[in-house]
Amino acid sequence: MNHALLVTTAAVAALLLSGCGGSAAQTQSATSPATASASPASLPAASGAATDTSAAPASQAAQSGPALCKAAGLTATTDSTGGGAAGSVYMKLIVTNSGTEPCLLKGYAGVSLTAGADGEPIGAAATRDDSTPVTDVQLAPGQAGVATLRYTQAANYGDCTRTPAAGFRVYPPEDTASLFLAQPLDACSNTEINLLTIGAFQPK
């Protein structure tokens, strides 16, 4: 009888130990969600990264460069010492930055013959000569860019309705304001006759 009681006591002790082991395992698995819930602590770092990204446009704006040159900050002259051929005169259209800030001159000027500083254009505006590539011409104050302007004599065209012009009206690239260059020439009021050709601006 005493031997049977000892066996029974040992079996009960074993069951109790087994129950304690299962309880310990449940406690460990229950702490796992607590570990996962700690992950939002990394959110401030992500928020900081978003703040850094928002600063990028300001940096890009600082690197955008000077604004386009406008008529209000420019002066223009012509130099016709380049000569001519076959009834045409080749001139250099020289545009100088007369302002106090750098500016960008890029592309083609709009050029037409006109009756005066405030007069309407006469005939067709200059056509573009794309033999010279468009390039960025950055002008510091006092610097100039140059484009080739060709004028074909109106007398070359038998069907030209000849009209006296007082000079050239010049629109800088992408500008709606203009400059006037006094230079008496004959124009053709016929808009189908092109007397003028203009090239892209280049550094002087």
How far is residue 74's CA from residue 184's CA, in Å, rounded to a whole number? 22
CA 22 to each of CA 32, 43, 82: distance values in angstroms, whole numbers, following the listed order: 16, 36, 102
Query: Tens digit of pLDDT for each residue in 38-64?
Result: 444 444 444 444 444 444 444 444 457
Cα dist from 115 to 110, 168, 186, whole Å: 16, 9, 10
Which range is least confidently modeled, 61-70, 74-83, 165-174, 182-191? 61-70
pLDDT reported for residue 105: 97
Token readout for 2 is: 């005493």
Tell me the mean pLDDT in the region 127-146: 97
CA neighbours within 13 Å on the CB side: how many for 174? Answer: 8
| Helix (H/G/I), strand (E/B), else coil: 101 | coil
Q: What is the mean pLDDT of residues 69-88?
A: 89
Q: 50 vs 40, 58, 61, CA distance in Å?
A: 16, 14, 19
55: tokens are 């600063």
pLDDT over threshold 90, residue 136: yes
Residues 129-150: b if buried by 16+ CB within 10 A, e if exposed: eeeeeeeebbbeeebbbbbbbb
Segments making up each domain of the chain, as ranges:
2-62, 71-203
Single pTM value for the model: 0.68
Average pLDDT over residues 123-146: 97
Q: Which CATH number fits domain 71-203: 2.60.420, 1.10.10, 2.60.40, 1.10.3470?
A: 2.60.40
CA separation for the pair 152, 167 (Å, rounded): 14
